Amino acid sequence: MDAKSPLELPFKFSADPCRHFPDRAALLQLTVLREPFSRVNVMMHVEDQVQAEHLLEQGQVPTFDGFEKTNCFGCNACIPVRIDLQQFDVEGRRGGLLEANSDLRFSLVPGLPHESTAASYNDAVSLFERHLQSSFNRGCRDEAAGILDSLAGFPGLTPYTLSMFTVDENGKPVLAGYMVLLQALNSVYAALHAYEPALRHRSPGNILMLKTIGILKDQKITEASPHLLYLGNWTPRPSRLSWKEQYAPLELRLGREWVTCDRKAIEAIKKRSCSSGFRQEQR
């Protein structure tokens, strides 16, 4: 852990619903959806990559409206979180899960999961639709397609897809899940994952995360050397975001600093959030 304890940093928790606002001053031209990066000026793409990586470093996350800062000043109910890939031991931590599911096949390719062929479009959108309905009790085909399409619209962030397959009785691969990654220089944002609901008993979300971390550690995604994997936000309250805790040590953006937190530090933060009563700071 860093020399400074996470609990020494000046931040408070809020009981109110998160009232996050887009940081419009920081967005600049990144709010405008450009053509895919391969069809724009190369120097412009490099500049966008630098700015996109800077926005991730500042705790912003890509959303439908551009980059947004969801950690409001004085309120860390939502805390940006990332993994230092070099500090994460895949084999030592959860390697047994990968070994137990060695029948699964994986493929990492540039682009989104539904861009290559009509068949891949139908498979990817249909799987995401089933995932939304099973996990969130919502979602239709148009919503699933719209979310996937939106991931191509961030200048400076290059999409990659890690696909996971089972094999049917005829030896044909069947799409079982995927993780969409958005890469900017040495940083990668885990934008979205989806998996077949029938495979939930095999922990497909964990499998996709571990494979993603392993691939990034081996630097197999691009010629760059990604060393930070951004996971969006985490909250001390029990929520759908709590699964991220199992990948500790994590780096949490507390106040205006990234602080390395092991499981003990994370539990201390959760305890502090409960004891504080999530009191809203007076503004």
pTM given for the model: 0.80
Interval 154-191: pLDDT, tens = 778 888 999 999 999 898 999 999 999 999 888 999 99
Interval 210-266: pLDDT, tens = 999 988 887 655 556 688 999 998 888 777 888 999 999 999 988 788 999 999 999
| Contact status, residue 66 vs residue 22, Cβ threshold 8 Å | yes
Interval 88-144: pLDDT, tens = 877 766 658 888 899 999 998 888 887 766 668 889 999 999 999 998 888 788 888
Q: What share of the chain is helix, strand, coil (3-state, %, to 5)?
A: 40, 25, 35
Alpha helices by DSSP H, listed for 78-203, are 90-100, 118-136, 141-150
Residue type, 208: L
Q: What are the strands, taking DSSP E only, across 154-267? A: 158-167, 173-184, 187-195, 228-234, 250-254, 257-261
Residue type, 204: P
Q: Where are the domains of the chain?
A: 82-231
Determine whether domain 82-231 maps to CATH 3.40.630.30: yes
Interval 8-47: pLDDT, tens = 554 454 444 444 434 333 333 333 334 444 444 555 667 7
Interval 196-214: pLDDT, tens = 999 999 999 999 999 999 8
Which pair of tokens denotes residue 17?
């619903």
